[in-house]
Amino acid sequence: MSNLSSRLSELIGKPVHQIDTPALVIDLDAMKRNLGRMAEFAKKHHIRWRPHAKLHKSVLLAKMQLKAGAVGVCVQKTSEAEIMVAGGVHNVYISNEVIAPAKLARVAALTQAVAPHQGQIAMAVDSLEGVTRLAQAMTEARIGGRSPATVIDVFVELDVGQGRCGVEPGMALSLAMEIRKHPALRFVGLQAYHGKAQHLRSAQERRVAIASAVDAVVATRQLLEAQGLRAGLVTGSGTGSLVLEAASGVYGELQAGSFMFMDADYAQNERDPAQPQFEHALFVKTQVISVHSGHAVCDAGHKSHAIDSGLPKVHAFDEKSQLEYFNGGDEHGILRPSEGNTRLPGLGQMLWLVPGHCDPTVNLHDAMIGVKGGLRQGTVERIIAVDARGAMT
Amino acid sequence: MSNLSSRLSELIGKPVHQIDTPALVIDLDAMKRNLGRMAEFAKKHHIRWRPHAKLHKSVLLAKMQLKAGAVGVCVQKTSEAEIMVAGGVHNVYISNEVIAPAKLARVAALTQAVAPHQGQIAMAVDSLEGVTRLAQAMTEARIGGRSPATVIDVFVELDVGQGRCGVEPGMALSLAMEIRKHPALRFVGLQAYHGKAQHLRSAQERRVAIASAVDAVVATRQLLEAQGLRAGLVTGSGTGSLVLEAASGVYGELQAGSFMFMDADYAQNERDPAQPQFEHALFVKTQVISVHSGHAVCDAGHKSHAIDSGLPKVHAFDEKSQLEYFNGGDEHGILRPSEGNTRLPGLGQMLWLVPGHCDPTVNLHDAMIGVKGGLRQGTVERIIAVDARGAMT
């Protein structure tokens, strides 16, 4: 892909219309405003924020977030953590279960690679076997590594309504007690992420969901305290519900990541009045390659944007009319005028799509093209590598 | 990603159980059988086959197909064509419209890069403007390039029922006549690909769809012949309908690609008795990272397989029971026993998923791990790079 890299680098300083398609483009001004809004929100609510780097998979954007006040980043995969640490991002929380001994050895190696003054590696667990395997890997790394006293921070994951990973309060107590038996593991708190709540459309439904997550956290805290244990930090939340966790009084850390780019899907949520006004900042630039009676075809299909949370929206095609995007397969999008309109774009016309879901969309691209000065008149400012693209293990 | 590459290379010669997850694995024996069946089918029907390399995006697999008798490969993107040519695959057909002048200059440069004794570049068109722009790019390349006489083969794309790109017979005639005006363009035939027909479940529905495609081809041929033009080669077809195009008497070339790997989606089609018995040969290896009452969670979500044509199927979990895969987001899959079963896999258990759609699944991975000797007892034979992964422009 070195051809692609050099082709992209040549764009720096060039006007936006020279970006060939399809391409993933960041409106850097909008992204910066989103970042400022999040920093301000966290400050106002006296809450830590540790944005999820699974969104952007970029060391550069992670560092931009740290500079704006984030305490570190979350990742989902060991390989993502490795790429962040190698890039100089040292406070990394793998907010997911890791079970394979080969991967746990890599996690333990990361704890050896990060010096205490630089940062701290953390991981989630939800099984006794998981704790035992992690302890085993840490013990081996302590023997073989440069520091015999390295620890890993461990969060116990609660199932707060997602129905995926995570345990009930009683089991959380058992896991916390087990973690405390191992000198290389440090029980630091609870992960209470409610993924499903993020995409509930009405503010009221989200309130009910997060209230029930808070109940599970409180119940767990009581069990822990009855055994003389502190629940520690409660981490979770996402862009859809962050207002609620921030106001809950029990969450101490927000993991929201998508606010940086704002998915088309999130924009369909009824906005809580307390929610910062995040803007769309990530776009797929595409162009029309075929025009017919009643439809046009563009060159962006689902190899250039993820469709798990719905098809992309066509952004500001025309002041008077709108286009709707229909699935045209891996490499094509079908465009039709939305109801009440008739105008179609012409051959070669450039269009901007707002992806339904930004995380897996970014993962399809090697790089994001950062633009300043807007999508119409702007200039390419920098190329941002998707460092952890395809980092799955 | 050099860490990943070296980690994968170390797997060569190792048993299959050492492959960490998630990982994209080819059962090389099954793939080879699929390839043999396709070669035999084409030979029996006296038809050319030019498999679509958008499936595997691999120079190595393209060469394996050429060796088995394919006349060349199809691609959808200029960048895919560039990667194929750079890798030594010289008969490349871009079976798609290219409109951007910057891309057409690259297409024209490819025609200069391939010597006549090596192969030939071809492209599809469906508009007069597209023809004019291509001719312009070819003229410029002839002046600036090493050969003043280079031509590009041009197919006129018919809309045979897909409702995406392609034109009606009358317009096809106009395009053919326009192409013949430009000395650097050679009108070589018609593209008549019916994408929707591939996924019609009943054999009868597919017969109706392809019969109507054949009608459009015949009508176009008559119009062309009335003007003294030969329709030339008719190219199209896919794994879902290849039996029908092969028997049609009008198609001269099959573009089917998926037969190499066989998607879970294609396996749900009612099989035409004349269709070769293609086997699943591409799998996502995954493992269980969390177990609960009633469900387990594996580490493969839709960042490791595409879900546009349905969720993956769990392959041969257990002789007595079956598992169903449910969407667990970007990095997780939820596994539940299928109806009538209760058994769940244990923590750390390895499982194999058959992707719903192989093309965009391959595009998520940097490499495919080739295994010989089966998924249970086999050995890693080679690592196959996805050379054109993310090649979108």
| pLDDT tens figures, A320-350 | 668 999 999 999 999 999 888 888 999 999 9
Whether residue A132 is predicted with pLDDT greater than 80 in this model: the reply is: yes
* CB within 8 Å: A391 and B96: no
Whether residue A188 is predicted with pLDDT greater than 50 in this model: the reply is: yes
Q: Where are the alpha helices (DSSP H) in B196-340?
A: 203-226, 242-247, 264-267
Each residue of B205-255: pLDDT tens digit? 999 999 999 999 999 999 999 999 999 999 999 999 999 999 999 999 999
**ipTM for the assembly:** 0.96
Query: Cis before residue A22, ω within 30 degrees of 0?
Result: yes
Residue B226 to residue B173: CA distance in whole angstroms: 10
Would you say how long chain B is, in residues?
393
Q: What are the residue boundaries of the structural domains of chain A, listed by start?
A: 2-24+278-385, 90-256
Signed CA dihedral, B63, B68, B70, B74: sign only = negative
Look at phi and psi of residue B206 and say left if phi exceeds 0, alpha if psi is from -120 to 50, else beta: alpha
* Average per-residue pLDDT for chain B: 95
Residue A25 to residue B252: CA distance in whole angstroms: 41
* CB within 8 Å: B165 and A307: no
pLDDT given at position B377: 93
Residue with tokens 């991975």, as numbered in its chain: B365
Residue closest to B325 by CA, chosen among B338, B335, B337: B335
Residue A130 to residue A100: CA distance in whole angstroms: 9
Residues in contact with A258: Cβ distance below 8 Å, sequence separation at least 6, in sequence order:
A52, A55, A238, A239, A266, A358, A359
The answer to whether residue B123 neighbours chain A at the CB level (below 8 Å) is no
Signed CA dihedral, B104, B110, B116, B120: sign only = negative
Each residue of B97-138: pLDDT tens digit? 999 999 999 999 999 999 999 999 999 999 999 999 999 999
Q: Give the mutation candidate from A330, A335, A363, A365 for the B interface (greatest B CB count, under 10 A).
A: A330
Residue A129 to residue A142: CA distance in whole angstroms: 20
pLDDT band at B1 (very low <50, low <70, confident <90, very high): very low
DSSP state of A162: -
* CB within 8 Å: B96 and A127: no
pLDDT band at B339 (very low <50, low <70, confident <90, very high): confident
Residue B63 to residue A177: CA distance in whole angstroms: 58
* CB within 8 Å: A103 and B20: yes
- What's the burial of A136, exposed, middle or buried (CB within 10 Å: 0-12/13-18/19+)? middle
- What's the burial of A360, exposed, middle or buried (CB within 10 Å: 0-12/13-18/19+)? buried
Residue with tokens 């701290």, as numbered in its chain: A120
Q: Considering the domain A2-24+278-385, what is its CATH architecture?
A: Beta Barrel (2.40)
pLDDT band at A293 (very low <50, low <70, confident <90, very high): very high
Query: Cis before residue A337, ω within 30 degrees of 0?
Result: no
Residue B90 to residue B114: CA distance in whole angstroms: 6
pLDDT given at position A320: 66
> What residue of A is the nearest CA neighbor of B392?
A22
The answer to whether residue A275 neighbours chain B at the CB level (below 8 Å) is no
Extract the tokens encoding A205: 């439904």
Whether residue B39 is predicted with pLDDT greater than 50 in this model: the reply is: yes
| A329: chain B residues, CB-CB within 8 Å | 164, 195
Chain A closest-CA separation from residue B28 CA (Å): 22
Within 218-237 of A, beta carbons closer than 8 Å to B belong to none
Is B214 within 8 Å of B179 (Cβ atoms)? no
Within 348-367 of B, beta carbons closer than 8 Å to A belong to 348, 359-360, 363-366
- CATH number assigned to the domain covering B90-256: 3.20.20.10
In order of A238, A359, A390, the CA distances from A76 in angstroms are 14, 12, 12
Q: Give the mutation candidate from B77, B303, B335, B387 for the A interface (greatest A CB count, under 10 A).
A: B303
Name which of A23, A164, A391 is nearest B297 (Cβ-Cβ): A164
Query: What is the mean pLDDT of the segment spanning B332-355?
Result: 93
Better pLDDT: B181 or B144: B181
Is A359 within 8 Å of A54 (Cβ atoms)? yes
Each residue of B243-265: pLDDT tens digit? 999 999 999 999 999 999 999 99
Is A284 within 8 Å of A375 (Cβ atoms)? no
Whether residue B6 is predicted with pLDDT greater than 80 in this model: the reply is: no
- What's the burial of A234, exposed, middle or buried (CB within 10 Å: 0-12/13-18/19+)? buried
pLDDT given at position B13: 98
The answer to whether residue A302 neighbours chain B at the CB level (below 8 Å) is yes
Is A12 within 8 Å of A370 (Cβ atoms)? no
In order of A92, A223, B132, B278, B366, the CA distances from A80 in angstroms are 9, 34, 47, 36, 15
Whether residue A2 is predicted with pLDDT greater than 60 in this model: the reply is: no
Largest alpha-carbon pair distance within chain A?
A: 72
The answer to whether residue B149 neighbours chain A at the CB level (below 8 Å) is no
The answer to whether residue A129 neighbours chain B at the CB level (below 8 Å) is yes
Is A251 within 8 Å of A245 (Cβ atoms)? yes
pLDDT band at B320 (very low <50, low <70, confident <90, very high): low
Whether residue A319 is predicted with pLDDT greater than 90 in this model: the reply is: no
Residue with tokens 């301000």, as numbered in its chain: A40
Is B369 within 8 Å of B28 (Cβ atoms)? no
CB pairs under 8 A between A and B: 160
* Average per-residue pLDDT for chain A: 95
pLDDT given at position B145: 84
Q: Strand B23-27 vs strand B367-372: parallel, antiparallel, or unpaired?
A: parallel
Extract the tokens encoding B141: 């390349």
Is A308 within 8 Å of B302 (Cβ atoms)? yes
* CB within 8 Å: A126 and B54: no
% of chain A exceeding 70 in pLDDT: 97
DSSP state of B114: S
pLDDT band at A144 (very low <50, low <70, confident <90, very high): confident
Residue B52 to residue A246: CA distance in whole angstroms: 51
Residue A72 to residue A92: CA distance in whole angstroms: 6
Q: Which helix (H) or strand (E) holds A105?
A: helix A101-113
One-letter amino acid for residue B194 of the chain: H
Each residue of A4-27: pLDDT tens digit? 677 899 999 999 999 999 999 999
Name which of B20, B23, B100 is nearest A21 (Cβ-Cβ): B100
> Helix, strand or coil for residue B169?
helix
> What residue of B is the nearest CA neighbor of A97?
B289
In order of A52, A68, A239, the CA distances from A33 in angstroms are 18, 11, 15
* CB within 8 Å: A3 and B130: no
* CB within 8 Å: B100 and A20: yes
Query: Hey, which bits of A10-115 come out as E strands?
Result: 23-27, 48-49, 73-75, 92-97
Is A5 within 8 Å of B1 (Cβ atoms)? no
Query: What is the mean pLDDT of the segment spanning A372-392?
Result: 96
pLDDT given at position A1: 43
Q: How many helices (H) and strands (E) does chain A have?
A: 11, 17
Whether residue B34 is predicted with pLDDT greater than 60 in this model: the reply is: yes
